């Protein structure tokens, strides 16, 4: 069974359903596959990730999204998360006064609770957090600081991936995780993501730059323009795009 | 011995004064409804008080008759008929009390469970008539003995009136005079009980004094009176209240708390207050009109108020500091949560009298539902308050769009060298923050609790450890149902 199966998905803002942002997306991700989505600004990439995760303000006006065979649209955003859908935010959100470590622990325990398991042992949690922090080059001190408050752009992105590693999701959606990262950080984050590749896990990686895909080599590359997937290919498609730009596709989408 | 003899004489005196019907029935458990001098004599006689105490009460009562209920505060409630209330009632007999937890409101039990309150304490809090001796009794006795050996006095104020009359006479009403305000004056006339604490010179009280330890002696009723005196160079931390919601058939609560610190002494007073707020409409909830005030009488002395307020239908309270001693300092940390139909008008007063006095106010107000909340803070720099400083940070967090928050700072600076700083913010829990939490698998309710706890962190971390943990849970529970 496909891990994520999107069929003819149309979506818009809740406030303005007359204006479609996504205009018929079809996309199937099987367990173990890594898909990349590229496309010009305003094409609808973040909107797609929002609709998958259930961000308030966005609605699917027609079509469907099945996750592991279940209708995602029937699930609340937190249920989706607990079921294994993880979104690494393009713009991670600040929560003043809440230590990142506390936030992580609360999130982990929410999952455990839903599975009827007891809270994680403090020591196990610390160990896991430290190991992941080390791997992703995140200073331990940072995890004592409030969630994303005062984090640099690159730090925020690393910590998003750290969260992803801790949650062990089945479907990872990464929205421009590479933007804001310097070259060294890009390599570290990519290694972190690669370490999470596994036969059960699917990934959807939204990016503007082929560079990331040199490190995280995708199985499939899609071009999203004007709310539609206008081209699908293998990793060489990313190289073509890098060389030639989106012009050909934006014309196609407008047509 | 002399004190005891004195007491007996006084009882005789009072008993001889019976002229009015009901008072002859001194064994009665309840004074009749209403308020008059007889009722006050009755209360005093019940407690076998010395004459000076009765005189003080009567003085207060006579003054109270000349006063009118304040109406400046931003709370709204039907007029209270003071003649339609009981001012003295002995503890409820076993016959009226629920026989077991099965007879107690399941909603209340659910909250106790969430707070992780042990079964025996649940029974106690819910007013179940139990014969079993609580573990805490022996704990309490052990602690009390230890304290007494060190010279710390910690006992019901009704007991202190007999055992330490000089101390009580010296300090009672010295911070909140009997004529202070409508509710404090009423309290002075009819107070039933409360705590008395005296920490001797130079002693750092090694344990937190908590109402928990005298939970078995709890029958302080609606007019609680607390007096804490820290003698030169001493320190004490006092915890009041309880995170568990407490029901009480008395709707009006008008407590008075007085703190006194002498040279180099420090009092830390923490409150977690969770009176029954009433149903959705506020019906049946407690009206909490409290006067709390501390006097930093000595040089370099310090008073710190921390409060977490989540209960009551109506709260009206302004823990204050009178900074008399040079270099003395007052701090006020407050979290007030109002949900449903709750109303709160709270804040603090910092009166700077001495040189180089310092005050710091951190107030975090959270409003949800249709609740309304006002922060009212007064900072007054008197002409002699050379070099005094105040810093005020006042933050409001709104949840939903039907609640309100208001900030009313009063600043009076009569000394050009004194500095007053005031910062205020109002924010909402953003949809983005909520979604971020949801996306990590955290439920909406837990997300709100998490975000609000973050908002209050600065205040919560001033609470003693165990209290802080309970307060965090309480924050979450009080906001249940506030979103979605
Ligand atoms: N909350 C919103 N309010 C108004 N317009 C929106 C909102 N979200 C998306 N849009 C509009 O929908 C279109 C798609 O936006 P989206 O953020 O999905 O693009 P994107 O492909 O992620 O772009 P980028 O590469 O710049 O991140 C844009 O025209 C954008 O302005
Ligand atoms: Mg985007």
Is the separation of the CB atoms in A11 and A51 below 8 Å? yes
Contact B435 A56 (CB under 8 A): yes
Contact B432 A87 (CB under 8 A): no
For residue A207, give Cα distances in angstroms to A174, A176, A241. 8, 5, 12
Coil, strand or helix: which one is B315? strand
| B435 contacts in chain A (CB < 8 Å) | 55-56, 77, 93
Identify the pLDDT of residue A223.
Answer: 95
Count the neighbouring beta carbons within 10 Å of the beta carbon of residue B201: 14
- Terminal-to-terminal C-alpha distance of chain B: 64
Q: Please provide the DSSP assignment of B44-100 as one string.
A: HHHTT--HHHHHHHHHHHHHHHT------SS---PPP-GGGS-S-BPPPPTTTS-SS
C-alpha closest to that of B19 among B1, B3, B34, B41: B41
Contact B440 A97 (CB under 8 A): no
Is the separation of the CB atoms in B309 and B434 below 8 Å? no
- Render pLDDT for A226-242 as a digit per residue (tens, 0 to 9): 999 999 999 999 888 88
Identify the pLDDT of residue A19.
Answer: 94
- Alpha carbon nearest to ligand 1 atom 22, residue: A46
Contact B435 A77 (CB under 8 A): yes
Is A65's C-beta closer than 6 angstroms to any atom of ligand 1? no
Query: Is A93 touching B (CB cutoff 8 A)?
Result: yes
C-alpha closest to that of B5 among B57, B13, B154, B56: B13
Work out the pLDDT band at A141, boundaries 50, 70, 90.
very high
- Render pLDDT for A31-51 as a digit per residue (tens, 0 to 9): 999 999 999 999 999 999 999
Query: Is A162 touching B (CB cutoff 8 A)?
Result: no
Burial of B12 (0-12, 13-18, 19+ CB in 10 A): exposed
Query: Is A56 touching B (CB cutoff 8 A)?
Result: yes
The interface residues of chain B toward chain A in range 213-242, judged by CB-CB distance below 8 A, are: none
Counting ligands in written order, the one closest to the CA of A89 is 2
Q: Which residues of chain B have pLDDT under 70?
A: 1-31, 72-75, 89-101, 104-109, 111-143, 211-221, 242-251, 276-284, 466, 483-484
Query: Is A58 touching B (CB cutoff 8 A)?
Result: no
Identify the pLDDT of residue B282.
Answer: 61
Distance CA(A111)–CA(B443), nearest Å, equals 10
Those residues whose C-beta lies under 8 Å from the C-beta of residue B383, and which sit 6 or more positions away, are: B414, B415
Per DSSP bridges, beta strands B266-273 and B419-428 are unpaired
Does the pLDDT at position A26 exceed 70? yes
Contact A81 B438 (CB under 8 A): yes
Identify the pLDDT of residue B456.
Answer: 93
What is the average pLDDT across A121-142? 93
Identify the pLDDT of residue B470.
Answer: 79
Is A43's C-beta closer than 6 angstroms to any atom of ligand 1? yes
Provide the domain count of chain A.
Answer: 1
Is the separation of the CB atoms in B193 and B46 below 8 Å? no
Could you identify the residue written with the tokens 């016959």?
B95
C-alpha closest to that of B404 among B330, B344, B327: B344
Is A15's C-beta closer than 6 angstroms to any atom of ligand 1? no
Identify the pLDDT of residue A113.
Answer: 93
Identify the pLDDT of residue B370.
Answer: 84
| B439 contacts in chain A (CB < 8 Å) | 53, 55, 77-78, 81, 86-87, 89
Q: Which atom of ligand 1 is nearest to the CA of A49?
A: 18
Distance CA(A142)–CA(A47), nearest Å, equals 30
Between the CA of A176 and the centroid of ligand 2 the distance, in Å, is: 7
- Render pLDDT for A149-172 as a digit per residue (tens, 0 to 9): 999 988 999 999 999 999 999 999
Is the separation of the CB atoms in A211 and A8 below 8 Å? no
Contact B446 A97 (CB under 8 A): no
Burial of B266 (0-12, 13-18, 19+ CB in 10 A): buried
The larger pLDDT score, comparing residue B207 to residue A81, is at A81
Does the pLDDT at position A70 exceed 60? yes
The larger pLDDT score, comparing residue A9 to residue B133, is at A9
Is the separation of the CB atoms in B42 and B36 below 8 Å? no
| B450 contacts in chain A (CB < 8 Å) | 95, 98, 102-103, 106
Q: Which atom of ligand 1 is nearest to the CA of A176?
A: 27
Which residue of A10, A46, A58, A241 sits with most ligand 1 atoms within 8 Å of its CB, as the best mutation to test the pocket? A46
Beta bridge partners of B366: B337, B397
Is A245's C-beta closer than 6 angstroms to any atom of ligand 1? no
Is A52's C-beta closer than 6 angstroms to any atom of ligand 1? no
Cα distance from B341 to chain A (closest Cα, Å)? Answer: 27
Those residues whose C-beta lies under 8 Å from the C-beta of residue B173, and which sit 6 or more positions away, are: B56, B188, B258
Query: Is B436 touching A (CB cutoff 8 A)?
Result: yes
Selected for mutation to probe chain A from B439, B469, B483 (highest A CB count within 10 Å) is B439
Distance CA(B453)–CA(A95), nearest Å, equals 11
Which of A57, A77, A114 lies closest to B438 in CB terms?
A: A77
Between the CA of B431 and the centroid of ligand 2 the distance, in Å, is: 18
Contact B439 A78 (CB under 8 A): yes
Distance CA(B188)–CA(B441), nearest Å, equals 53
Is A20's C-beta closer than 6 angstroms to any atom of ligand 1? no
Identify the pLDDT of residue B95.
Answer: 52
Paired tokens of A223: 């071009």
Minimum Cα–Cα distance from B448: chain A residue: A95
Per DSSP bridges, beta strands B302-309 and B329-338 are parallel
CATH value at residue A244: 3.40.50.300
Paired tokens of A160: 């998003």
Q: Please provide the DSSP assignment of B361-373 as one string.
A: EEEEEEE-TT-EE
| A162 contacts in chain B (CB < 8 Å) | none
Q: Please provide the DSSP assignment of A98-151 as one string.
A: EEHHHHHHHHHHHHHHHTTPPPPPHHHHHHHHHHHHHHTT--GGGGGSEETTT-
- Render pLDDT for B162-191 as a digit per residue (tens, 0 to 9): 999 999 999 999 999 999 999 999 999 999
Domain hosting A190: range is 4-254
Its ipTM equals 0.96
Between the CA of A150 and the centroid of ligand 2 the distance, in Å, is: 22
Between the CA of A53 and the centroid of ligand 1 the distance, in Å, is: 15
Selected for mutation to probe chain B from A93, A104, A159 (highest B CB count within 10 Å) is A93
Q: Please provide the DSSP assignment of B273-306 as one string.
A: E-B---STT-TTPPEEEEEEEEEE-STT-EEEEE
Query: Is A97 touching B (CB cutoff 8 A)?
Result: yes
Distance CA(A65)–CA(A47), nearest Å, equals 14
């Amino acid at each position: 069974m496909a891990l994520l199966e999107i069929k003819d998905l149309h979506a818009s803002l809740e406030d303005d359903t007359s204006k479609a942002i996504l205009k018929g997306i079809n996309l199937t991700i099987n367990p173990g596959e890594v898909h990349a989505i590229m496309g010009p600004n305003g094409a609808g990439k973040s909107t797609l990730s929002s609709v998958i995760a259930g961000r308030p303000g966005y609605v699917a006006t027609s079509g469907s999204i099945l996750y592991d065979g279940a209708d995602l649209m029937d699930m609340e955003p937190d249920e989706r998360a607990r079921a294994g859908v993880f979104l690494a935010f393009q713009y991670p959100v600040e929560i003043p006064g809440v230590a990142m470590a506390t936030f992580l622990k609360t999130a982990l325990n929410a999952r455990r609770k839903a599975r009827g398991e007891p809270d994680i042992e403090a020591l196990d949690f610390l160990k896991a957090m430290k190991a992941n922090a080390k791997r992703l080059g995140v200073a331990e001190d940072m995890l004592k600081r409030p969630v994303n408050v005062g984090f640099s752009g690159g730090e925020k992105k690393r910590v998003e991936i750290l969260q992803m590693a801790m949650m062990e999701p089945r479907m990872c959606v990464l929205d421009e995780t590479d933007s804001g990262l310097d070259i060294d950080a890009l390599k570290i984050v990519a290694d972190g993501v690669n370490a999470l590749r596994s036969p059960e896990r699917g990934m959807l990686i939204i990016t503007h730059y082929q560079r990331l895909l040199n490190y995280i080599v995708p199985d499939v590359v899609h071009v999203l323009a004007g709310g539609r997937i206008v081209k699908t290919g293998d990793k060489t498609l990313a190289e073509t795009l890098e060389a030639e730009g989106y012009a050909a596709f934006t014309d196609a989408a407008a047509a | 011995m002399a004190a005891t003899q004195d007491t007996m004489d006084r009882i005789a005196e009072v008993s001889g004064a019976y002229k009015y019907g009901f008072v002859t029935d001194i064994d009665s458990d309840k004074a009749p409804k209403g308020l008059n001098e007889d009722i006050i004599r009755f209360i005093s006689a019940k407690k076998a008080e010395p004459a000076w105490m009765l005189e003080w009460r009567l003085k207060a009562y006579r003054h109270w008759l000349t006063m009118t209920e304040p109406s400046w505060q931003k709370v709204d409630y039907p007029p209270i008929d003071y003649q339609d209330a009981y001012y003295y009632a002995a503890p409820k007999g076993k016959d009226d009390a629920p026989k077991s937890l099965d007879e107690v409101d399941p909603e209340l039990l659910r909250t106790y469970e969430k707070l992780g309150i042990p079964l025996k304490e649940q029974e106690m809090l819910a007013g179940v008539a139990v014969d079993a001796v609580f573990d805490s009794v022996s704990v309490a006795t052990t602690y009390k003995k230890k304290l007494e050996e060190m010279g710390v006095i910690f006992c019901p104020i009704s007991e202190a009136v007999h055992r330490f009359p000089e101390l009580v006479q010296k300090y009672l009403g010295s911070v909140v005079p009997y004529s202070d305000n409508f509710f404090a004056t009423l309290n002075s006339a009819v107070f039933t009980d409360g705590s008395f604490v005296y920490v001797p010179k130079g002693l750092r009280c090694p344990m937190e004094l908590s109402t928990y330890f005298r939970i078995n002696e709890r029958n302080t009723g609606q007019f609680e009176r607390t007096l804490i005196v820290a003698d030169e160079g001493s320190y004490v931390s006092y915890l009041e209240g309880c995170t568990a919601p407490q029901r009480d058939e008395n709707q009006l609560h008008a407590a008075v708390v007085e703190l006194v610190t002498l040279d180099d002494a420090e009092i830390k007073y923490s409150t977690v207050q969770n009176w029954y707020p009433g149903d959705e409409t506020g019906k049946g909830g407690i009206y909490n009109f409290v006067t709390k005030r501390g006097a930093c009488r000595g040089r370099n002395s310090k008073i710190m108020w921390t409060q977490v307020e989540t209960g009551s239908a109506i709260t009206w309270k302004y823990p204050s500091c009178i900074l008399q001693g040079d270099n003395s300092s007052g701090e006020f940390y407050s979290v007030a949560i109002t949900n449903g139909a709750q109303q709160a008008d709270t804040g603090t007063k910092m009166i700077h009298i001495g040189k180089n006095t310092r005050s710091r106010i951190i107030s975090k107000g959270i409003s949800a539902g249709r609740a309304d909340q006002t922060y009212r803070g007064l900072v007054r720099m008197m002409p002699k308050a050379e070099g005094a400083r105040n810093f005020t940070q006042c933050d409001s967090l709104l949840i939903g769009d039907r609640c309100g928050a208001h900030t009313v700072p009063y600043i009076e600076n009569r000394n050009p060298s004194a500095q007053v700083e005031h910062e205020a913010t109002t924010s909402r829990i953003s949809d983005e923050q909520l979604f971020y939490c949801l996306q990590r698998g955290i439920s909406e309710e837990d997300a709100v609790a998490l975000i609000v706890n973050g908002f209050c962190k600065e205040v919560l971390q001033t609470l003693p450890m165990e209290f802080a943990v309970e307060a965090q849970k309480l924050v979450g529970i009080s906001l249940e149902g506030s979103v979605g």
